[in-house]
Structure 1
C-alpha cells in the first residue's frame, strides 16, 4: 500500500509539480532489505527498466496536476486509494514518480518510494535539453509523513558559499554552520572527541564558526606564545600535545584562497593550568592578532559581511585585563546550560541555546526540543538590511547573533558521550529543517483552485499545503558535533541553503 509523501521546495525560486505517477515498485523485495532506493554513494541507477515497468503496468496510475510551490512551501500527497493491482505481491510497495517544472519551463523528474526506511539523496533527471539548473532531492522517512525536499545543486563549491551573498548582510542575518570543540578530531578519550574530521576539512565543507579551547603552555611568561588545545580538563590527543598556531594557519590559508569567506572563531581558556584569562589575552594580542592585524576583525559590534571577508571574526570568551581596551565580540557573560538567553545585558549581541547537561539518555529528546525551539526563534527574525528595509546610510543596528549549540555530553556515561548524542540530535535537526523549519501547519484546504483534488478512482488526494511563516527563515549559527561522519554533510548543506531567505529579500529589492 502506498503511504503519504510531503514534497517541499527548498530552492530560492518557485517550482511547479505538474504530474504524479504511481506504480508497483519492481525493486521492492530487494530494496526492503537494504533500505535504500537511491543513494549519493551508489552510482548504479535504481530506476525501473522498461520490461520491469511493463510487468507492473497494471498497478500504474497517473494524475496531471498544477501545484506551484514558492520557496519554503510544502505539498502533501496522501496515498492513492484506487488503482492498486489486487494481484500484486503483498510485500510490494509503490513508487511515486514526480515531474516538476522550474525556471524557464524546464522539466525534471524523480522516482521515490515513501515506504523506504533510510534517508537518501538523488539527482533529478532533466527532461529538457541543456537545463540551466540541476536539482537534487533529499528523502527522509520522517514520521508520520515521509519528506522529499527539493534543492538546487550548488553552483559553487562549499568552500565559497559566502561569496554569492551580498556585502550588505549583517552576520546575524546569515545561516552559518559551525562546530563545537572544532579541534577535537584527534585520537582521544571518547568523551573528549567531538569531531571526526580536521579543521581544514570542516572549512572546505562549509563550516564558518569554529569553537577553540586553549591553555597556555607557560602559565606566567607572556613572551611564550604556545597554546595547548584542550577540551575541558583534558588534552585533545592521546599521543602528544596539539597546538593552537597550526589551526590558525589553516584558517589563514583558507581565507587567502577563498577571500570572499569569513570565519567566526570563538576562543576560550580551559584546561588545568594556572594561567588566567588576562594572561591569555596578552599572548593572543601580542603574538597572534597584532602581527596579523589585517587578518582579524576585532570590533565589538556585529559586522556586515562585506567588512569581514577574508578575515577571522573574534568571539571572545575570555576576560581582558582591567583598564585595557576589550577587543572582539564580547561573549564573556556566556550563561551556563542556557536554553534561551540574551547577553551581554548592555548590548544583547548574542541569543544563545547551549543546554549541555545531557546527563542521561532520557534527556536527549529534551535537548532536541531546545534546539528546535531556537531554530524557530531564529527563523522568525526579520533582519535589518541597509538599503532594503532600513536606511542605507544610517541603518538600524543588526539584531543579535543566534547561537544554537547542538552539543551535549556526560563524560561519565557512555550513552551520553558526544558522538552518541550527536547521532540523535543532528538527525533530529536535519529532519526538522527539511520538514518543519519556517513552515506553518499545512492548510486544511489547498490554495490552488484549479487543482484536481481527487479523481473518480481516488488516485490522488491532497492532504494540504504548508506555507512559509513570516520572518527571513535564517537559522543563525548552528554549532554541531561529529559533522561529516561517514561523508555525510547533509545538515551542513541544509543550513547553508537556509540563506535563501535573506538572499531572496535582497534580490527582490534590486
Structure 2
C-alpha cells in the first residue's frame, strides 16, 4: 500500500523537534541534561572542537553507527533494528559517522527515503540532513562523515542515473550543497561545520568513493555473515585485526573502517553484546592509556555500549610523552 505524500511530510515535520526512540518520543536535545564527558575530559557533543584543526580526518578515531536510522522494529522487524538513539542524540553523544541508505520515495518523484533494504524507516533524506545541519550550526567545531548509499531494493529501487538526479536535486533544488564537503579527505579545520560526503552510489563527480573492501580511499572490515561453528569468534578476530592494522599503520593515506556490527542469523542486539563482551571491550580497555587512529568505527546500539563509544573518542587525546605519526595527509 502506498504512503501518501502528506503523511511523509507530516512524519518528517513531526519528528523534527524530537528524537524518535523505540516508538516513543524524548525531549529535544536542548531540553536534555548536559552532555556527557569522556574519561579523558572531552565533551561528547563537542569533542572534535578540542582537536587541532590541522589534523587530517585520516588521523582520527571516528565512532559511528551502522544503519544509523533503523530505530524502530515496527519499520521492518527486530532483525533490522540497529539503533535506539535517533540522529540528534547520536551526534550529541559523540557519534560522527552516519550510515545512510536510500531508495526512491513513492509519491515524491524527486525525493529519497531512508530504508533498510526495502523497509522504509519513515524518514526522508532531508530530515537527516536538517538534523545534521542543526547540530553543526550549534557546534561549528564538529564535522559529520556520511556514507550515502543507493540501497537498490524493493519497489522503490533506483538506477544510477535517477539516483544521481535526485542527489543533484537535493544539492541545488533543495539547497543542501553548501552543507557538504565533497572532494577528498580534508583536514579537520576544513571539514568543520560540514558533512563530509562519502558516495556509495555510482557517480562521475570524483567524490570520495566508498568501498566495503579496499580502494584508494578506504580499507574496510565489514564481515557481516561468516560460516563455521563460531562466527562471532571469527568476527571478533577480524575486528581486532582491523584495529591493529589501523593503529600500526598511522602513515597510510586511506581511511580504515571497522564495522563492529554482525548479522549472520543473530539478533543485532545479541551479536552486538557478545562481540563487545568477548572482543571489543577487552581490546579497547587494555589501551585506555594509549592514543592512536582507528579510523571510522560503526556500531549497533551505542546506548548499550557508552563505555566503548567514549573509549573510541578518547583515542584522539594524545597523552603527555606520546608521539603520534600523522597519516599522509588529505588528498
Fold conserved between structures, TM > 0.5? yes
Shift of 1:247: 1.2
The structure whose Rg is larger is 1
Q: 2-side partners of 1:263 and 1:361: how far apart? A: 38
Shift of 1:436: 5.3
Q: 2-side partners of 1:207 and 1:183: how far apart? A: 13
Q: 1-side partners of 2:177 and 2:166: how far apart? A: 14
Shift of 1:429: 1.0
Q: 2-side partners of 1:181 and 1:169: how far apart? A: 27
Q: 1-side partners of 2:127 and 2:307: how far apart? A: 28
User: Aligned Cα RMSD in Å?
Assistant: 2.6
Shift of 1:482: 1.1
Residue of structure 2 in register with 1:161 after alignment: 47
Deviation per residue, 1:177-236 (Å, 9 max, x gap): 0000000012331001111111111000000000011101159x8xx3322211123333
- Does 1:292 find its partner at 2:146? no
Higher relative contact order (CA 8 A, sep 6+): 2
Deviation per residue, 1:67-97 (Å, 9 max, x gap): xxxxxxxxxxxxxxxxxxxxxxxxxxxxxxx
Q: Specify whether residues 505 and 167 from structure 1 end up closer, same or farther in structure 2 by C-alpha distance, changes over 3 A only.
A: farther
Residue of structure 2 in register with 1:350 after alignment: 218
Residue of structure 2 in register with 1:433 after alignment: 284
Q: 1-side partners of 2:139 and 2:123: how far apart? A: 26
Gaps of 5+ in 2: 1-36, 325-331
TM-score for both structures, normalised by structure 2: 0.78
Gaps of 5+ in 1: 1-134, 137-150, 336-340, 384-397, 439-467
Q: 2-side partners of 1:287 and 1:260: how far apart? A: 24
Residue of structure 2 in register with 1:308 after alignment: 191
Residue of structure 2 in register with 1:116 after alignment: none
Q: 1-side partners of 2:157 and 2:85: how far apart? A: 30
SS in 2 for 1:287: helix
1:208-219 map, 5 Å: 208-218=96-106
Q: 1-side partners of 2:72 and 2:50: how far apart? A: 33
Shift of 1:242: 2.8
2:84 corresponds to which of 191, 196, 201: 196
1:55-454 map, 5 Å: 151-152=39-40, 154=41, 156-188=42-74, 189-218=77-106, 224-236=109-121, 241-270=122-151, 271-272=153-154, 273-288=156-171, 291-299=175-183, 301-320=184-203, 325-331=204-210, 334-335=211-212, 341-343=213-215, 348-358=216-226, 362-383=230-251, 399-410=253-264, 413=265, 416-427=266-277, 428-435=279-286
Residue of structure 2 in register with 1:23 after alignment: none
Shift of 1:501: 3.8
Q: 2-side partners of 1:167 and 1:157: how far apart? A: 17
Contact 2:82–2:269 (CA<8 Å) still a contact in 1? yes
SS in 2 for 1:158: coil
SS in 1 for 2:281: helix
Q: 2-side partners of 1:380 and 1:502: how far apart? A: 17
Shift of 1:261: 0.3
Q: 2-side partners of 1:157 and 1:306: how far apart? A: 18
Contact 1:199–1:247 (CA<8 Å) still a contact in 2? yes
Shift of 1:505: 4.1
Deviation per residue, 1:152-199 (Å, 9 max, x gap): 3x2x42110000111111111101100000000123310011111111
Q: 2-side partners of 1:315 and 1:203: how far apart? A: 18
**Greater per-residue helix proportion:** 2
Q: 2-side partners of 1:360 and 1:482: how far apart? A: 26
SS in 1 for 2:47: helix
TM-score for both structures, normalised by structure 1: 0.52
Contact 2:73–2:80 (CA<8 Å) still a contact in 1? no
Q: Specify whether residues 164 and 364 from structure 1 end up closer, same or farther in structure 2 by C-alpha distance, changes over 3 A only.
A: same
- Does 1:489 find its partner at 2:306? yes
SS in 1 for 2:164: helix
Q: 2-side partners of 1:381 and 1:289: how far apart? A: 39
